[in-house]
Chain A
Amino acid sequence: MPGNPIDVMINQYMQQGMSMEQARIMVSSLYQIDFSKPVWEQYIEYLQLIIRGNLGVSYIYTGVPVARIISYALPWTVFLLSISITLSFVLGIILGMFAAYRRNTKADHTITLFSTITNAIPNYVLALIFLFFFACVWKIFPMRGTRDPRIPPGFTLEFISNVFHHATLPILSFLITTVGSWILQMRGATISVLGEDYIKVAEARGLKGKRIMFSYVGRNAIIPLFTRLAIAIGYMFSGSVLIENIFTYTGIGYYLTYSVTARDYPLMQGCFLITTLAIILSNFIADLLYGFLDPRVRIER
C-alpha cells in the first residue's frame, strides 16, 4: 500500500527507541491489527466487523472509532443535501411547468436560457464566487464551519438561525447549479404530456384548467422526475465533497478528503462506504418508486 500509515507509525516508535517487536505490538494494540494473519484474512475480518457496525479506529484521531466520526459528520451532509434537493426539486417543477405552459414566450425563453447556463456551471466554481463575494467582500455570511461553537446546541432560535446562516451559501451553490436540470426535465415532460389525448378529453369534458394542471398534467409529468430524484440524491453525496471542502463544512465529503490527504485509511473506507451505500439505497428507492408511482409498470410485471 503506498504511504502505509502503519509502517510510518512503526518507524516512529522505533526511532523513539523501541525495538521492532515492541513497536509492532504497540501499533497492533492501538489499531487492533493482527500482523500474524494474511491480508485476505484481515480483510474478511474487516468485512465481518463492518456488518456489526464496527468500522475500525481512525489513524489520525487516535483511538476514536470511525463510526463515531461518521455519526457526527453524516447529519450535516444529510441536512445540507436534503434542504438543497427539496428546494431545487420543488422550484424546478414549478418553474418547469410554468415555462411549459407559456412555451415560446419571452418568459419561457428566459427560464430555459437561465436553466441551460446554470446547469453548465460547476457547483464548486459558483461556491467559490459566492464565498468570495458574500463572505470575503461583503461579509454577509460566515466563511467556514457548520455552526458558531460559542452558541450551545439545542432547539433554541439562536442556534437554529446560526446553523441556517452557515448553511445558506452551500445550499445556494447546490440549489442554483441543480435547479436548471429539473426545470428543463419538467418542461420537457410537461410539454409531452400536454400533447396527450387524455388532456384533450379532460378539456372537452369541461374540467377546470387548474384541475387539469394539477391532477392530469402535473401528476403524469412528475413520474419520471421522481425516479431521477432518487438517483440524484445518491450522486449529490458524491458532489458534496467539493462544496463541503470549500466551506469547511464538516460533513462526510469534508472528512473524505481530509482522510485522503492524511492517509487515514479506516476513515477513508468508512466515508467511501457511506457514500456508496447512499447511491445504492437511492437507486433501490428509485426502482421502488417507479412501480409505486406508475401503475402501468406494476401491471406489466
Chain B
Amino acid sequence: MVQVKEILTKALKKLVYDPLKIILKSRRGTFGLIIVLFFTLMATVGPLIVRYDPSTVNLSEALQPPSLKHPLGTDWFGRDILAMLIIGSQDVLFVSFVTALITTSVATFIGILSGYMGGKVDSALVAVTDIVLTIPGFPLLIVIASVLRTSNPILLAAILSITAWAPLSRAIRSQTLSLREREFVEMAKCLGMPSIHIIFSEILPNIMPYIIINGIFAFTGAIYAQVGLFMLGLAPYKSQNWGVMLNLAVNYAGAVFSIRQASLLAPAICIILLQVGLVFLSGSLEEVFNPRLRSG
C-alpha cells in the first residue's frame, strides 16, 4: 500500500507538478495556461449556469447596450451575447478538440508506419501524403462542407481533418526515420523484439513530445478552419458557434450599418485570446519537454 502511494506521488510529481512549475515560471506560460483553463471551464461548466436560452428570439430586447441584465448587450434578435458566447464555446472547443485528435492520430499512424516500414509501403504512403499536400485545404473544406451540410460535430471534425494530417505526417515520418537509425532501436532489433514493441515502447515515447506540441497546433488550425467555415455561412446554422456569430454580425453590418460592437468584437476577441493562449502554452510545453530550451 505504501509502495502504491509512493509510485502515485512520484507519477503525480513527474506528470503534473514539475511541468506546472516550469510553465508557471514564465509569464507567457502562465498566461496561456490561465486562458486555456478559462475557456475549458467556459465550455464545460459555462452552459450549465447560463440564464438565457440563446436560441429564443425576443425582439423587444433587441440591440440593447451592455447592462447588468445582459453584460455584453443583446443582438438583433434580442439574444444575450454572453450566453451565445458561452454556448458557442462548447461547439468550437469540442469540434476542434476532436479534429486535433483525429489529425494527430492519423498523422502519427501514417508517419510512423511509413518511416518504420520503409520500402514499398513507405513510397506509397509518401506519394499519398504528397498528393494531399498539394490539395488546397481550405477551399476543399468549403466544397465538402457545403455539399454535405452536416451539423454532426464528429462528422464536421472528420471533414476538418481531411487534409490537415499531411504536413504533420511528413514531419513524423522524418522523425521516425532518424530514430530508426539510433543505437537503442538497433539494439532492440538485434535482441529480436517484435516491431510492435519497438514502435510502441522505443519510437513512440521519443516522438510523443513532438506529437503533443503539434496536437496543440492542430487544435489552433482546427479553430481557424472551423470558425472560418461558419463565418462564410457554408455550414448549417443549427449549432451555436462563434463563427455563426461573426457571420451574423457581418451580414447585419452590411445590411443596416448599425453594428453593435459586442456582437462582432466579443467572438473576435475570444478567438484571438484562445489562439494566443494555446500558442503560449505550446511554447511552454516545449520547454517542459526540452530542457535545453529552459532559461535559467
Interface string of A242-269 (1 = CB under 8 A from B): 1001100000010011001100000010
Pairwise interchain contact A241-B138, C-beta atoms closer than 8 A: yes
Q: Is A154 an interface residue (CB 8 A)?
A: no
| B116 → chain A closest CB, angstroms | 26
Contacts of A261 in B (CB 8 A): 146, 233-234
Pairwise interchain contact B134-A279, C-beta atoms closer than 8 A: yes
Stretch at the interface among B7-15, B58-66, B180-188, B220-228: B220-228
Contacts of B233 in A (CB 8 A): 261
Interface string of B255-296 (1 = CB under 8 A from A): 001010100110010011001101110010000000000000
| B273 → chain A closest CB, angstroms | 10
Q: Is B142 an interface residue (CB 8 A)?
A: yes
Pairwise interchain contact B136-A238, C-beta atoms closer than 8 A: yes
A125 in contact with B259 given A120-B276, A241-B138, A268-B143 (CB within 8 Å): no
Pick from B142, B224, B246, B257: contact of A128, CB under 8 Å: B246
Compute how far the CA of A275 lies from the CA of B259 in the bound complex, rounded to whole angstroms.
34
Contacts of B234 in A (CB 8 A): 257, 260-261
Pick from A122, A125, A275: contact of B139, CB under 8 Å: A275
By secondary structure, the B interface counts as: helix
Q: Is A90 an interface residue (CB 8 A)?
A: no
Pairwise interchain contact B136-A132, C-beta atoms closer than 8 A: no
Contacts of B193 in A (CB 8 A): none
Interface residues of A, count at CB 8 A:
41
Interface string of A115-148 (1 = CB under 8 A from B): 0110111101100110110001000000110000
Pairwise interchain contact B134-A283, C-beta atoms closer than 8 A: yes
Pairwise interchain contact A136-B253, C-beta atoms closer than 8 A: yes
Which chain B residues (158-189) contact chain A, with CB distance < 8 Å? Answer: none
Pairwise interchain contact B139-A256, C-beta atoms closer than 8 A: yes
Pairwise interchain contact A238-B276, C-beta atoms closer than 8 A: no
Contacts of B143 in A (CB 8 A): 260, 268, 272
Compute how far the CA of A212 lies from the CA of B256 in the bound complex, rounded to whole angstroms.
58
Q: Is B2 an interface residue (CB 8 A)?
A: no
A132 in contact with B253 given A2-B147, A261-B234, A276-B136 (CB within 8 Å): yes
Compute how far the CA of A279 lies from the CA of B253 in the bound complex, rounded to whole angstroms.
34
Pairwise interchain contact B275-A122, C-beta atoms closer than 8 A: yes
Compute how far the CA of A2 lies from the CA of B142 in the bound complex, rounded to whole angstroms.
15
Pairwise interchain contact B232-A272, C-beta atoms closer than 8 A: no
Compute how far the CA of A234 lies from the CA of B12 in the bound complex, rounded to whole angstroms.
46
| A178 → chain B closest CB, angstroms | 13
Pairwise interchain contact B268-A279, C-beta atoms closer than 8 A: no
Compute how far the CA of A119 lies from the CA of B276 in the bound complex, rounded to whole angstroms.
8
Pairwise interchain contact B264-A257, C-beta atoms closer than 8 A: no
Contacts of B280 in A (CB 8 A): 116
Contacts of B268 in A (CB 8 A): 125, 128-129
Pairwise interchain contact A121-B276, C-beta atoms closer than 8 A: yes
Pairwise interchain contact B279-A120, C-beta atoms closer than 8 A: yes
Q: Is A216 an interface residue (CB 8 A)?
A: no
A242 in contact with B275 given A116-B283, A268-B143 (CB within 8 Å): no
Sample of 26 A–B contacts (CB below 8 Å): A2-B147, A116-B28, A119-B279, A120-B275, A120-B276, A120-B279, A122-B223, A122-B271, A124-B228, A128-B249, A128-B264, A131-B250, A132-B253, A136-B253, A136-B257, A136-B259, A144-B254, A237-B136, A238-B136, A241-B139, A242-B228, A261-B146, A272-B139, A272-B140, A275-B139, A283-B133
Shortest beta-carbon contacts, A-B, top 8: A238-B136, A120-B275, A120-B279, A275-B136, A120-B276, A122-B224, A238-B138, A260-B146
Given contacts A2-B147, A132-B261, A242-B231, 6 further A-B contacts (CB under 8 A): A128-B268, A132-B259, A234-B136, A238-B137, A260-B146, A272-B139
A residues near B, CB below 8 A? 2-3, 113, 116-117, 119-122, 124-125, 128-129, 131-132, 136, 143-144, 234-235, 237-239, 241-242, 245-246, 253, 256-257, 260-261, 268, 271-272, 275-276, 278-280, 283
